Structure 1
Amino acid sequence: MASRSLFVTLRRKCSASRMVGNTCISRSFSSGALSESLQDSQEIDDLKTRIFRLRLPKRSVTNVLEKWVFEGNQITISELRQISKDLRMSQRHKHALEVSEWMVAHNEFELLDSDYAVRIVLMTKVFGIDAAERYFEGLPPTAKTSETYTALLHCYAAAKLTEKAEDLYEGIKNSKLSLSALTYNEMMTMYMSVGQVEKVPLVVEELKRQKVAPDIFTYNLWISSCAAMLKIDQVKWILDEMRADPGFAEGWETYINLANLYINIGHLVNVEFNSLVETENGITQSEWITYDFLIILHAGLGNKGRIDQIWKSLLMTKQKMTSRNYICIISSYIMLGQLKEVGEVVDQWKLSATADFVVSACRMVWNAFRDIGLTEKAHDFQTLLIQKKCDSSISLE
């Protein structure tokens, strides 16, 4: 009787609502909201959902995995790899590492080289480089492959540990392992990030000497290094090589043709700006020739508005700026005769906490414009530097 009385009371309180089974649903709900509410009550219960419910890093994925198996459920290696990948994409590195540990601890799973490589990267993110090094050293010889070596190289490069990366790179080259472009790209990325752009072409030379096929990132970094050093003729040569590479699709032809305009700075007429925008929209994020080079390309096209947008977006992303970034944007504004903007960027560079102002870099810009015959623009840049009192002890003449 007591339970019946309680039920009647609940029904009276829900008089302005309707009942679904024993659940009171407000009439003010839309049909979509009702559907969502019912769906929430029947949430899918799978392994990935349970793991992603943990939220806090201190909560244990291992316990979830053990409970899942205790309940009589199966776990496949492909399922664990996908969950680990999803966790990494969500920046949940500790939980991804626990999944990796589970895979290693259970001998029924046949691990691939990529599984060990992922573990090295995860250990670096969770416990630091030292832990990753110890793990790598403890791997059996059969697991010390190009993938695991490259994974450790990636960790050194990301941490800008140049000497360690170079030592490991030499060790990899002497190991007679079959390497892919990825290994060389890691070194090129590191040299770009630490401002040693002159070393990038040397890595490319080694890649070619070993008859390793370059990929889009190889060309990406190679072109960007030449753009940073303002070596215009080399950029043209690289673009010609890209065109001749059988590994590149026809869709790249338009982009390469536009990029070739870079070598004709200051000599463009009747350019169709919309074609460049269309090309940008047709290229995936993994195929960009880097923002630096894209900025200079737009400068060659005379598209100041697009340069302003790209530079603003770079500043808003809180990306660590390097002298290379400032050289490219300054060069672009000089091309267009926008001295006000050049002055603003110089001020930003001088105040930057991530990139020291480098007079030698300004000298390189000045020399490049003078060498290609744009002496007036070179003189304007010199005058601006004097006005900004960048370094009164050095003459650009």
Structure 2
Amino acid sequence: MASRSRSIFLPLIRNGGFNIVPENSQSLSLFNRTSYLSRFLCSITLKGDSLTSSQVNDDDDDLRSRIFRLRLAKRSVTNVIQRWLSEGNQISISDLRHISKDLRKSHRYKHALEISEWMVGHEEYELSGSDYAVRIDLMTKVFGLDSAERYFEGLPPSAKTSETYTALLHSYAGAKLTEKAEELYERIKKSNLSFNALTYNEMMTLYMSVGHVEKVSLVVEELKRQKVAPDIFTYNLWISSYAATLNIDEVRRIMEEMSRDSGSNEDWMRYINLTNIYITTGHLVNTESNTLVEAEKGITQREWITYDFLIILYAGLGNKDKIDQIWKSLRMTKQKMTSRNYICILSSYLILGHLKEVGEVIDQWKQSTTTDFDVSSCSRLLDAFTNVGLTEIANNFYLLLFQKNSDPTSGSK
């Protein structure tokens, strides 16, 4: 069942929004699966926001609360803002940015786009490159990439910043439009703008996702030529590109470079140490990782990501026994579970096609006292269950969120 399910689930989960599995079968190596699983984990770990951030109290009467009470996407945010002003209230650009950010977290992209349109239409607001970049991302989500592309091309030169270029590049990478992304990347290289690691990471992610792992190192070369400082995701993608071809010597060389660059950054050192374990112990096959957890019953939330990452590594290896052991040990610790921990284990079991265990983890989550729910990650996981036809599991997961007052669909009603 597991082997058959894996071949079915991988492409469907990619289409369901996880974006963690490369396009061609050649790249479906254990290293690539690990890279993309770890990237998903990083995306849900580095965000401290929860589903409850979008909830409003019916007694509140500020602008944000009024907008969130609209529920239906067809309701007009513009009308709410105009009424708010007609009552003698003021609106700062900072307020609008915060409300838009909360709307995006709740997947209420149309309403967020209306706020963006309001800001653009009122000259008293001085827009930043980030404001235009957010608008490009929202237009991609609401109207499609063509609209976002036309909007970018129509921007005045002063608004074509590193942020707006990167936002459009992100849209191309997300749609796996390699040719368009490469054309834009060439424009980026010829511009006189300064870009950070995020821009290069977008190209590296695209190449990994479509199986062009050999092009990743070329992006790193350009990054270094432009004297841009790589971040942990740059190194993660770079290491994964060589790991995908089993070039362990290059993996070690990059890790040595990473060690020199990391300084005192604890997250970087944790990643280096885990990757070291990964490549020096026969791909963790003989490592008793559960004993690591048993020895630290008092681990903190900051340290817990280490064990989440070990689960991800074993998922990449397809080693269910080790995943079971670590998960059992984690549940014995004194530390309170977070939604990230549950999403990590659910994603790993789902990737490997172990549906019985997926159901068991959801049941364990129901019985827990966990109250934090990451809106984006929970929604993506629910979408993944639905998109692969796991109706019963999707319904069970939805019931879990609903019972804990975290209805993932409430933002669009």
Q: Distance in 2 between matches of 1:318 and 1:75?
A: 49
Instruction: Output the CA distance in 2 between the equivalents of 1:224 and 1:280.
Output: 28
Task: Identify the residue that residue 103 of structure 1 maps to in structure 2.
Answer: 119
**232, 242, 246: which one aligns with 1:216:** 232
Write the letter of the residue equivalent to 1:117: A
Shift of 1:76: 0.4
Distance 1:317 1:120, change over 3 A: farther
Partner of 1:45: 61
Residue 264 of structure 1 deviates from its aligned partner by 2.2
| Structure 2 gaps, min length 5 | 1-55, 329-343, 354-387, 389-413
Aligned to 1:303: 322
Superposed, which structure 2 residues align to 1:331-350 within 5 Å? none
8 Å CA contact 2:281–2:287 kept in 1: the answer is no
| CA distance in structure 2 between the aligned counterparts of 1:290 and 1:155, rounded to whole angstroms | 31
Structure 1 gap ranges (5+): 1-38, 320-352, 354-397
Aligned amino acid, residue 91 of structure 1: H
Matched residue, 2:348: 314
Question: How far apart, CA to CA, are the structure 2 residues paired with 1:267 and 1:98?
Answer: 50
AA of the residue aligned to 2:201: N
Q: 2:202 aligns with which of 186, 190, 196?
A: 186
- Give the Cα separation in 1 of the matches to 2:191 and 2:124: 30
Deviates more, 1:268-277 or 1:235-244: 268-277
Larger Rg: 1
How far apart are 1:116 and its partner, in Å? 0.3
Contact 2:165 2:188 in 1 (8 A): yes
CA contact (8 A) 1:223 1:235 kept: yes
1:151 and 2:167 aligned: yes
Contact 1:160–1:194, Cα closer than 8 Å, also in 2: yes
d(CA) in 2 for partners of 1:242, 1:179: 20
- Say whether the 8 Å CA contact 1:113–1:147 is kept in structure 2: yes
Q: CA 1:216 to 1:255, structure 2 compared with 1: closer, same or farther past 3 Å?
A: closer
**Identity across aligned pairs (percent)?**
62
Deviations 1:183-226 (A, max 9, x none): 00111111122122222122111111111000111112122222
Shift in CA distance, 286/82, structure 1 to aligned 2, threshold 3 Å: farther
- How many angstroms does 1:296 deviate by? 5.5
Name 2:150's counterpart in structure 1: 134
Q: CA deviation at 1:232?
A: 1.3
Please state whether the residue corresponding to 1:282 is helix, strand or coil. helix
> Aligned partners of 1:188 and 1:276: how far apart in 2?
33
Structure 2 distance, partners of 1:85, 1:191, is 29
Assess if the C-alpha contact under 8 Å between 1:243 and 1:253 holds in 2.
yes
Matches within 5 A, 1:51-90: 51-90=67-106
Distance 1:217 1:67, change over 3 A: same
Residue pair 2:201, 2:234 contacting (<8 A) in 1 also:
yes
Query: What is the 5 A alignment of 1:1-397?
Result: 43-246=59-262, 248-250=264-266, 252-266=268-282, 273-275=290-292, 282=302, 293=313, 295=315, 303=322, 305=324, 313-314=347-348, 316=350
| 1-structure distance, mates of 2:306, 2:287 | 30
Shift of the 289–275 alpha-carbon distance from structure 1 to 2, 3 Å rule, reads closer
| CA displacement at 1:316 relative to structure 2 | 3.1
Contact 1:220/1:290 (<8 A) preserved: no
Structure with higher RCO (Cα < 8 A, 6+ apart)? 2
TM-score between both structures, scaled by the size of structure 2: 0.60
- What's 2:391 paired with? none
Q: Contact 1:57/1:92 (CA < 8 Å) preserved in 2? A: yes
Q: Is the 8 A contact 1:224 1:289 kept in 2?
A: no
**What residue is the counterpart of 1:27 in the other structure?**
none
SS for the counterpart of 1:206 is helix
Alignment RMSD: 3.6
Offset, 1:306: 5.4
Contact 1:220 1:289 in 2 (8 A): no
Alignment partners' CA distance in 1, 2:93 and 2:68 = 18
Structure 1 residues 271, 298: CA separation in 2 closer, same or farther (over 3 Å shift)? farther
Task: Describe the SS at the equivalent of 1:245.
Answer: helix
